[in-house]
Amino acid sequence: MLPGRLLALSAILVWVASCDAAPAGAPFAYPAFAVDRVTPPSWVAGTRFELTGDGIVPAPLATYTLDIEVGGQTATLPLEVVEGSLRGVAAGDWLPVDGFDPLPAPTAAIVHRSIDGSVQSSSIAGRISLLQMLPPRLDFIRSGAPIYPGDAVPIGAFDLYRAEEELADHSHSDYLVVRGHRSDESGASPTELTWSLRLLGGGLGGRAVDSVRMSPDLLGLRPGAFSGFAWIESFEPWQFEGFPTERLDYEVAIARPYLDGLASATTARGRWLGATGRGLLPLDAAAETASVLVFDGVFTPLRGAPEDHTGPDAWALPVEAVEGNTVGWVALRSQPDLDGGLAGLGARAGRFEGTVTLRVAARFGLLQVDEVRSDPLPIALDVTPPRQEVELRVLPGFDEALALFGLEAEREAVLARILAVLERDYAGVNIGFAYAAPAGVAEYGVVELAGPDPNGTHLFGLDNTSGKDAGNLRLDDVIGGFDAATRARGFAAYGGIFASELLNLSPSLSTNALASPRFDDVFAAVVPALGGIPAAAGESDRADARGGRIREAVRVLGNLVGSTITHEVGHTLGLTALAGRAHNDGDNPGWIMDAGVYRPFEERAELDGAGPAVFSPFNQTYLGEILPLAPTPQE
């Protein structure tokens, strides 16, 4: 049988299987074809339209065309089946563009041609109108209410061109035009102002716009008033004057931005802090706008004397994200100072009391920059010690490692055990681990769980971050990927947790000095390279010996990976706490920050009474100082 026939037969079988079953032995019959809806009903050159109805089947069961005749011109347009509907484009010389007058009523039908040679047709005459140009309408624009920077102003604009119609051979453009006089609070004479904003109709079938965003380049930033008119002009290509709609009165007060509160009364270094109000603009290089929150007041740290942060010493934080123009988010990021410590709001725990002011700026042209400030908002803000958040990012290589261990079916159980090990190892420390990015956090660590070591050194894991971070000044270290600064210092540059390399703990598979016969005892039942049979879904629930071996393999692999993460994350936190050292001195049984050569398999796996490894007393004290669970009040 020819490949094309095979494809068609397969398509028929798949399509029929999705329909109600036909009686045994009954010949295959296509359903009756009929189009019952056309979107949009008015077409110009370039209109993308959609047809829905009954009996539409996917290719190659049938092909579809639109046969249309208007004013003596005929055309056949190809149609595509998309999710059970037909879609096409009104394109070709049969659709002239000379004015606003509608074209004669077309004769139009959708033709369904089946692979068995049968033909069905469904007329759409009377359901579509063809236009040379769309006459736009502006029914209303909200007038009288105050406008703040970035406001979405309600309008009623209809019969607009969509993007694909503007890109057609005979393109047109619709613009909202506003003209009048603007005054400001200075009392200077009003200035004449005219601006235009391009309007595009909505999605498939949509030709309306219900709001426009008032960017600063339209009415400016400075508080004042505008009085004039608004209308829509539709332009044909190469025209200097458009076809205007009726003008509507448009008068507004241009209001000063304001703040009315903070999203939280508590924050910490590395966190997002939200501010609510109106008139917040995004940090946008293209639009040349920016917003800043200025914290002016006194900060009292948990330990030490109050600090003056008023006037030129106030803290200014850029608004990095906005929601509409009513919510802005700043990040209390780690900012190094000249002495090797941290500076800025969030650097130390304590309480800020004072005001927060919104400053909004925008550039107009090459030289003019306008800035407007809100009234100061009195606030009190508690800054707590930071919490280190860590995202565990599972890469495809880790799943490949699970397959090598014969535990692919136990993926979720292994991941759960890893998380349990981390939570146990870091008990009493203000740190959290999750398999997703933490919400509300701007700076957080990342650990990539991968397969083989891309450095070729067969390490179980590697912290490839730049330099020892004594005091955990960086909250956003990434254990993973490639670090150019680390490579420049002559060290292996690819970081992560390399789960596939843990197979080197088997004396049957490797000559690694840490290899132990106990590895084979645990994993021989499931690791294919050791002659094992990979675990199947549900086998670990069995009460027999096989189920027990699988559960033990899950526990041990979770311990191996989890303790490796504990060790590498410890490095990013500044461990070991010995000055100038990466590891504890010598061999200290049961200490997790010992060098890898001193950490035997049984301790890592928690077998035969060994392990779990813990942080040494001095490392545990250090962790409690940099990431305390609760702040220590000033004495």
Q: Dump the DSSP string for 461-520.
A: EE--SSS--TT---S--EESEE-HHHHHTTS--EEEEEGGGGGGG-TTT---TT--HHHH
pLDDT number for residue 535: 96
| Torsion angle of C-alpha atoms 450, 451, 456, 457, degrees rounded to 10 | 80
Residue 22 belongs to a domain: no
pLDDT tens per residue, range 102-132: 778 889 999 999 988 899 999 998 899 888 7
92 and 222 housed in the same domain: no
Asked if 515 and 460 count as a contact pair (C-beta separation under 8 A), the reply is no
Q: 632 in a domain, yes or no?
A: no
Nearest to 130 by CA among 156, 153, 107: 107
Q: With cut-offs at 50, 70 and 90, classify the pLDDT of residue 632.
A: low
- Which of the four pLDDT bands, split at 50, 70 and 90, describes residue 2? very low
Confidence of residue 135 (pLDDT cuts 50, 70, 90): confident
Beta bridge partners of 76: 67
Based on the domain organization, do 102 and 229 belong to the same domain?
A: no
Degrees (nearest 5) of the Cα angle 382, 384, 387? 145
pLDDT at 99: 62
Asked if 507 and 513 count as a contact pair (C-beta separation under 8 A), the reply is no
The answer for residues whose C-beta is within 8 angstroms of residue 465's C-beta and 6 or more apart is 474, 477, 478, 479, 483, 486, 495, 571, 572
pLDDT digits (tens, 9 = 90+) for 423-460: 999 999 999 999 999 999 999 999 999 999 998 889 99
**Residue 98 backbone zone (phi > 0: left; psi -120 to 50: alpha; other: beta):** alpha
Cβ pair 299, 311 in contact under 8 A = no
Same domain, 246 and 269: no
Per-residue pLDDT of 535-571, as tens digits, reads 999 999 999 999 999 999 999 999 999 999 999 999 9
Residue 20 is assigned to a structural domain of this protein: no
Same-domain pairing of 554 and 419: yes
d(CA 282, CA 279): 10
Of the given ranges (11-25, 44-58, 214-228), which has the lowest mean pLDDT?
A: 11-25
The tens digit of pLDDT for each residue in 178-199 reads 999 999 887 788 899 999 998 9
Final residue belonging to a domain, choices 114, 130, 146: 130
102 vs 217, higher pLDDT: 217
Domain-embedded: residue 1:
no
User: Where a domain ends, among 384, 403, 432?
Assistant: 384
CATH code of residue 101: 2.60.40.10
Is the pLDDT score of 23 beyond 70?
A: no
Burial 477-499 (b: 16+ CB within 10 A, else e): bbbbeebeebeeeeebbbbbbbb
Asked if pLDDT for residue 93 goes beyond 80, the answer is no
Query: Residue 378: which pLDDT band, with cuts at 50, 70 and 90?
Result: very high
Tell me, yes or no, whether 463 and 566 share the same domain: yes
Residue 278 is part of a domain; what is its CATH number? 2.60.40
Residue 222 sits in the same domain as residue 327: no
Residues 454 and 319 in one domain: no
Selection from 229, 220, 271 nearest residue 247 by Cα: 229
Residue 497 has pLDDT above 90, yes or no: yes
- Which residue among 323, 352, 384 closes a domain? 384
Q: Does residue 16 lie within any of the structural domains? A: no
| pLDDT score of 611 more than 90 | no
pLDDT value of position 6? 46
Is it the case that residue 309 has pLDDT exceeding 60?
yes
Q: Rg for the chain (alpha carbons), in Å?
A: 34
Is 463 found in the same domain as 528?
Answer: yes
Contact by Cβ (8 Å): 501, 458: yes
- Round the average pLDDT of the chain to a whole number and report it: 89
Q: What residues contact residue 230 under an 8 Å CB cut-off, 6+ apart? A: 138, 141, 176, 177, 178, 247, 248, 250
Name the residue range of residue 360's domain.
261-384
- Condensed to tens digits (0 to 9), the pLDDT of residues 240-260 reads 566 788 999 999 999 999 999
* Encoded tokens for 160: 């607009």
When comparing pLDDT for 291 and 73, which is higher? 291
Residue 332 shares a structural domain with residue 233:
no
AA letter at 351: R
The pLDDT value recorded for residue 14 is 46
Tokens of 512: 């690694």
**Residues 523 and 450 occupy one common structural domain:** yes
Cβ proximity of 81 and 69 under 8 Å: no
So what's the pLDDT on residue 635? 39
Average confidence (pLDDT) over 492-513: 93
Residues 369 and 275 in one domain: yes
In sequence order, what are the residues at sequence separation of 6 or more whose Cβ sits closer than 8 angstroms to the Cβ of residue 555? 417, 606
Contact 505, 521 (CB under 8 A): no
What percentage of the chain exceeds 70 in pLDDT? 91
The answer to the question of residue 8 being in a domain is no
Collapsing DSSP to helix, strand or coil, 85 comes out as strand
Q: How many domains does the chain divide into?
A: 4
- Please tell me which residue, 96 or 141, carries the higher pLDDT value: 141
Residue 477 inside a domain? The answer is yes
Residue 584 falls inside a structural domain: yes
Torsion, Cα 470 569 434 396, to 10 degrees, reads 140
pLDDT computed for residue 634 by the predictor: 47
Do 365 and 282 lie in a common domain?
yes
Is the predicted pLDDT of residue 167 greater than 80, yes or no?
no
CA 13 to chain centre: 39
